[in-house]
A and B are shown apart, each in its own frame.
Chain A
Amino acid sequence: MEQCFTFEKEQFPLFFEAMSEHGTVLAPVRVSEQSFAFRPVSSAGEIAFEALRTILPPKKLFYPQRETILGYEGRTIEERKPDVKPQVLFGVHPCDLAGLGVLDAIFSSDPADSHYLARRKATIVVGLSCMPDRYCFCNSVGTDSPEKGYDVFLTDIGGSYFARVNSPAGLQLLQSRPGLMQPASGDARQQYKDFWVNRDRAFQIGFKSGNLPAIVDMEWDNPIWEELGQRCLSCGNCTPVCPTCYCFDILDVASLTGDSGERVREWDSCQFSGFAQVAGGFNFRPGPVDRLRFWYRHKLHGFEDAYGFPTCVGCGRCTVSCPAGIDDIVGVVLRLQGGQDGQGGEER
């Protein structure tokens, strides 16, 4: 399926037109001096091509922050069908593609989440290359190259984009504007390869991840958890921003009139003290130290058990979003690898 084309950046508005024809285009836009968010855009000019990480990852487009899943009236319960419209998600970097891959695995395993899958199916994903900043470490967790989960992936090769196609829908998108796409020339292919070699050299932080699951288990009692946990605000900023966090709360919202109401699901966070509290008031993770350590384990090890992969995709969102500065995954891993003395492990 993989086919390669190029098109000049000047022609991007044409490509944008083609995307708009399929449905609403969602792309990163600037929302504050430092932040970006995926929002519906109506012209290429609104897109912040320079965005590395959006505040919330693209998961929000398939698994919205708050969603009604059923309605009830008396004894009748009715499932609410998701509002699914064709859309094009533009500007997804490799870490976020990997993040969507993790959520795909989770939400499609039994019992499958029909709302998530329906929205995913109605979406064309256009990936975009990126240059790491000082928080990116996808190369340490093996999510640095775009492997799957996209229909088209664009690599910035200077004056043009190098487009790799990975699905019939992607091919259709590229071919819908006759003359826009050129088959990738030999030069373009070389530029493409050069880009990724340079990009590989551009990472500023990282670790070697091979031994990670074992080390996370071994260092369960490392004093680092106490040290970081003391600073933890239990504010829960780290989980909504993570491309692979998927926990939600379920609320029944009664209507004022009659016997009716709605069941709503809303993103939740394992960093809240009520998250692991059960009937009778017992709490499995009562303090911030317990909760922070649990979160780190889940990101670096937890899913090795059930799914065979860790769930951190190296996007650096938690690091930049944590007001207490304790979600420094790379720094923590290096310290854990270095052992009790807290000396750094082997940097890449």
Chain B
Amino acid sequence: MDRLEQPLPCISVHSLTGCAGEELVILENLQKALPLVRVVSFPFAQSANEMRPVDIAFVEGSVSQPHDLEKLKAIRATARWLVAVGNCAVWGCVQGGVCRRFTPEQMARDVYGQDNQIAALPSAPLDKYVRVDVKLSGCPIDAGQFLSVLASLLKDHLPYITHKPVCLECKLKENGCVLVEKNLPCLGPITAAGCGALCPTFGAACYGCWGPCEAPQMEAMEIVLKEKGYAIDEVISRLTAFGIPQEIYSRDKPLELKVSRQ
């Protein structure tokens, strides 16, 4: 590099407890960003990694083990912008949602045996422990959204990330509606767009992996799905499978309370 040039902005990509889906998306698209940034740490993709101050740190995965938490705090301390990428980092995903009904101890015992060495925490999204500057949901994230977040942050702008419902993307693609036409339990109306309405485009119901849209109308969704013959338990388990806390949907009346009344 020409010594007189401005140093390139530094980024890092880290993973806590997750499936590496986000890291794959980032790796696949890194080529487009490489002339513009220096990757100082990306253990998934390169062998020389430093823990030093960066402009942007992308963090995938949920906090599910004590060493996740240590790592997260160290990243936060050295990053100007901390971006939570993927449903795990933003909402907790399945390890926070589906597994909610078990204790960490019980799961460790059942999966790894009595004398396992697993030190597990109840799985949580990053913002339970540290300040998160940008949350980019997805399971996995959308490459276009990732690049636009990067482009904005490199210019020191907060990125625009849509929270309109999946139905918008679905209709703009002119898909037949699976909720209306096939009575499938599509959660597009209450789920944030960004995926390009991927599931409905292939004729399947949206199962809410992106997390809630800007103002999810939970009660209406419940009414509509119930009228189509879906049991309320099924609706709730679909809704919370990806780690979205039940309270977020209905702040005054948590879903759980309503259910126990029925």
Chain A interface (Cβ < 8 Å from any Cβ of B): 31-35, 37, 54-56, 60, 65-66, 230-237, 240-241, 251-257, 261, 266-269, 272-274, 288, 320-324
Contact = CB atoms under 8 A, between A and B. Distances in A.
B165 A235 contact: yes
Contacts of B3: none
Nearest to B150: A256
Contacts of A322: 180
B181 A254 contact: no
A35 B182 CA distance: 12
Contact of A323 (B35, B147, B154, B177): B177
A230 B220 contact: yes
Interface stretch (B62-70, B79-87, B166-174, B250-258): B166-174
Nearest to B147: A256
Contact of A321 (B165, B168, B180): B180
B224 interface: yes
B211 interface: no
Nearest to A31: B176
Nearest to A324: B224
Contacts of B221: 233
Contacts of B103: none
Contact of A32 (B181, B215, B219, B220): B181
A324 B220 contact: yes
Interface residues of B, number: 39
Interface string B78-100: 00000000000000000000000
Contact of B220 (A54, A255, A266, A288): A288
Contacts of B174: 31, 37, 54-56, 60
29 contacts: A31-B174, A34-B181, A54-B174, A55-B175, A56-B174, A60-B174, A230-B220, A231-B220, A232-B220, A233-B165, A233-B217, A233-B220, A234-B217, A235-B188, A236-B168, A240-B171, A241-B171, A256-B32, A256-B33, A257-B36, A266-B172, A269-B164, A269-B168, A273-B215, A320-B180, A321-B180, A323-B180, A323-B224, A324-B224
Contact of A288 (B175, B186, B217): B217
Contacts of A267: 168, 172
B25 to A, nearest CB: 15
Given A254-B157, A320-B180, A240 B172 contact: yes
Interface of B: 32-33, 35-36, 147-148, 150-152, 154-155, 157, 160, 163-165, 167-168, 171-172, 174-177, 179-181, 186, 188-190, 214-215, 217, 219-221, 223-224
Nearest to A326: B220
Contact of A56 (B171, B179, B186): B171
A323 B226 CA distance: 12
The secondary structure that dominates the B interface is helix
Contacts of A37: 174
Contacts of B224: 231, 233, 323-324
Contacts of A269: 164, 168
Contacts of A31: 174-176
A323 B230 CA distance: 14
A305 B27 CA distance: 55
Contacts of A233: 165, 167, 189-190, 217, 220-221, 224
Given A230-B220, A256-B151, A236 B165 contact: yes
B165 A272 contact: yes
B215 A234 contact: yes
Nearest to B172: A65
B28 to A, nearest CB: 15
A234 B165 contact: yes
Contact of B171 (A234, A236, A254): A236
B149 to A, nearest CB: 10
Contacts of B155: 254
A235 B189 CA distance: 5
Contacts of B190: 233, 235
Nearest to B165: A235
A55 B167 CA distance: 13
A254 B154 CA distance: 10
A96 B159 CA distance: 38
A230 B165 contact: no
Contact of A234 (B151, B172, B189): B189
Contacts of A257: 35-36
Given A230-B220, A236-B171, A256-B32, 19 more contacts: A31-B174, A34-B176, A55-B174, A56-B174, A230-B223, A231-B220, A231-B224, A233-B190, A233-B217, A235-B190, A236-B168, A240-B168, A253-B148, A254-B152, A269-B168, A272-B165, A273-B214, A323-B186, A324-B224
A288 B174 CA distance: 24
Given A35-B176, A231-B224, A254-B157, A274 B167 contact: no
Contacts of A237: 167, 171, 177, 189
A256 B181 contact: no
A234 B220 CA distance: 9
A108 to B, nearest CB: 24
Contacts of A256: 32-33, 36, 147, 150-151, 154
